[in-house]
Chain A
Amino acid sequence: MTQLHREVDVVLAGFGWTAAILAHELTQDGLEVVALERGGWRDTPTDFPTTHAPDELRYYWRHEMFQETAQETQTFRNRRGQTALPIRRWGSYLPGVGVGGGGVH
């Protein structure tokens, strides 16, 4: 199903740091901006309350707030000649998803 949205000046794909800064600058200049974010909405009081934001297991080890490899992942190898395998569990980097993107770490 196609949904037609009113025309705006700028459409940003994703709403992480980059898009948020762009949105800020562009709207400051009077442009109308829409950001399309594949993940959910987040706001400070709901998602970052000081009482449970320090939950290291939930956020750091279990990667809540980050892209789940079950949804989308990449393959990885160190060198040509090796066989790349899917990353099942994030290691050296954590792709963000949802409002705020990777910056919510």
Chain B
Amino acid sequence: MQQGHLGRRSFLRGNLLGFTALVLPSALRALEFGGANMPWSAGAASPPYAGITDARYFAASEYAMVDAITARIIPSDDTGPGAKEASVADFIDHQLAGFYGRGQRWYMQGPFPEPLETQGYQAPHPPAELWRTGLAALEQHCRDSHGAGFAALDDDTQDDILKAMEDGEIDLVSTNAAQFFDFMREMTIEGFFCDPVYDGNRNMVGWRMVGFPGARYDYRDFLHHNGAAISMPPVGLMGRPAWTRQ
């Protein structure tokens, strides 16, 4: 932060109690917004995503399961590539290794009674632990009822199991199957359509499938396209594959 001469119209910044205090005397407003004493420094924009991490969470066996599960939630078929091609498992792996997996921004203390459906996320585990316990319980279920781990089962059997989880028709040890399924589906969708900077949506396959050209700054040129399809190669926060490292 800039430490200019502040004088009597000072900004008391981020000091005691973590407050930001701003003093805005009228006579000097023009000067104020001239920038000289704003608590701002040039070129300090936060980088595209502070939470990007190379760290991974899953063990190899968990990763293989997640790859198989997500590939059934968004399968590769004649509408286009699916979650596997979009590297959704990598996206989830990184997300769970970071603040999101730790539930760092969430209130995670008890009590944890049986929640109402309307009360949202009430699992006693932060997301990473929910995945770990849920995957272990699912794997156990597959071995007990089908004699093999999830990843080794055929597509139809995998679909049946996931459907039964979604409908809450499977009892998983210490995991609410329906809630876990919801969370798996949600993160699969996130990983399929996220910006590629998060390591999902590889080669922007998700965006290409729905014809999304990326969250571009300026669409004024297309205001009058009158509903006609816009066909532009998608662009992400870091540009597009043709411009940068693959």
Contacts and interface: CB of A to CB of B under 8 A. Distances in A.
A29 to B, nearest CB: 8
A56 B195 contact: yes
B20 A39 contact: yes
Which of A37, A46, A73, A98 gathers the greatest number of chain B CB atoms within 10 Å? A46
Interface residues of B, number: 54
B147 interface: no
B48 A37 contact: no
Contacts of B122: 85, 88
Judged by DSSP, the binding face of A is loop
A15 B198 contact: no
B148 interface: no
A35 B22 contact: yes
A62 B106 contact: no
A45 B45 contact: yes
B243 interface: no
A78 B118 contact: yes
B44 to A, nearest CB: 5
Contacts of A3: 15-16
A61 to B, nearest CB: 6
Given A78-B118, A83-B113, A88-B120, A40 B237 contact: no
A41 B13 contact: yes
Interface string A36-60: 1111110101110111101111100
Contact of B21 (A34, A51, A58): A34
B207 to A, nearest CB: 12
Contacts of A62: 51, 100, 105
B105 A70 contact: yes
A22 B54 CA distance: 45
Nearest to A2: B16
A46 B44 contact: yes
Contact of A70 (B45, B107, B190): B107
B14 A88 contact: no
Contacts of B8: 6
B49 A58 contact: yes
Question: Top 6 A-B pairs ranked by shortest CB distance?
Answer: A54-B215, A69-B107, A68-B105, A27-B26, A89-B121, A50-B217
6 contacts: A54-B217, A54-B237, A69-B105, A69-B107, A85-B115, A86-B109
